[in-house]
Amino acid sequence: MKAGVARLLTRLYPRVWRQRYGAEFEALLEASPGGLRAAANVLWSAAHEHIQGGNMERDPGSFGAIVRHPSALIPMAMSLIALALVLGPIAIYGPPVREPDEGAIAHLWQILMAGQMPVLAFFAIKWLPRAPKSTLAVLALQAGAVLAAMAPVFYFNL
Amino acid sequence: MRSTRHVVLDENGPELGHYSDPPLLVLASLSNGPKHGHAMIEDILGLCGTQLGPGTLYGAIARLEQQGWIEPLPAEDRRRPYRITAEGLRVLRARLATLQQFTKAGAERLEAL
């Protein structure tokens, strides 16, 4: 197998896995005859390593480990759902006109935005003392998701 | 040990595929001395006709190493040999004994037909 292809295929694996096995795996790929079957085998195995978390001991304080916690993911998911709730009708029906009765979508948006606050607080209280740097990075992501969900509301003055 | 079913087709036709358990095959390959990845693939091919893909091989190596059943030796150039540990040998013996029992029982049933 050509060195460039071997390097490219090795890069499909999780970073932690590559740090441990990358060099020897790339050497094995270069020594192997290659072909579609070998490439498919590597693709499948790399995907499996990603799903299995790389099968390696992940640093529990790393960004990758922190961001996988439900208390990190749930607020971001709630913000994204809130954003979709606003953008969906706008995409279908065009910019809405402000009405006295806010409607079901507005109430859902408010519940999603307010409901994630206790989860955010829990996440920050639990993880900031343990892994400040990674937790701040995740909090920045969560803040970005909140701002993204609020942006169309303010932009369209809903 | 993670049980993996991996069927490799050979020239005898699709109905005569090889049953393969990559971690067990790696343990068996290392039982007669340390080997690096390419040597393991060749050895396993000679041992039972199964050609492990590079991804499958390293998936098995990673799991076996994590379980402490094999261990890496110092790298030779970019290739790293592995050797089986005492615990790995114990596991291999146990698995082979189970397979032997299974083979014997299966053969007896076939003879009774």
Note the pLDDT of residue B25. Answer: 95
Contacts of B62 in chain A (CB under 8 A): 17, 20-21, 49, 55-56
From A27, A31, A45, residue closest to B55, measured CB to CB: A45
Per-residue pLDDT of A79-91, as tens digits, reads: 999 999 888 888 8
Report the DSSP pairing between strands B82-84 and B70-72.
antiparallel
Multiple choice CATH, B8-112, 3.40.50.300, 3.40.640.10, 1.10.10.10, 2.40.50.70: 1.10.10.10
Q: How far apart are alpha carbons B34 and B111 in whole angstroms?
A: 39
Per-residue pLDDT of B24-36, as tens digits, reads: 999 999 999 999 9
As a dihedral over the C-alpha atoms of residue A109, residue A110, residue A114, residue A120, rounded to 10 degrees, the angle is: 20
Per-residue pLDDT of A89-113, as tens digits, reads: 888 877 776 666 677 888 899 999 9
Q: How far apart are alpha carbons A8 and B17 in whole angstroms?
A: 31
Could you state, in order of their start, the residue ranges of all structural domains in chain A?
3-55, 63-155
Best B78, B79, B80 member to test A by mutation, with max A CBs in 10 Å, is B78
> Inter-chain contact A55–B63, Cβ cutoff 8 Å?
yes
- Among the residues of A11-102, which ranges form H helices? 15-31, 36-51, 63-66, 70-93
Structure tokens at A99: 């009405």
Contact present, A13 and B61 (Cβ < 8 Å)? no
Angle between helices A15-31 and B37-48 (to 10 degrees): 60
Could you state, in order of their start, the residue ranges of all structural domains in chain B?
8-112
> Inter-chain contact A24–B53, Cβ cutoff 8 Å?
no
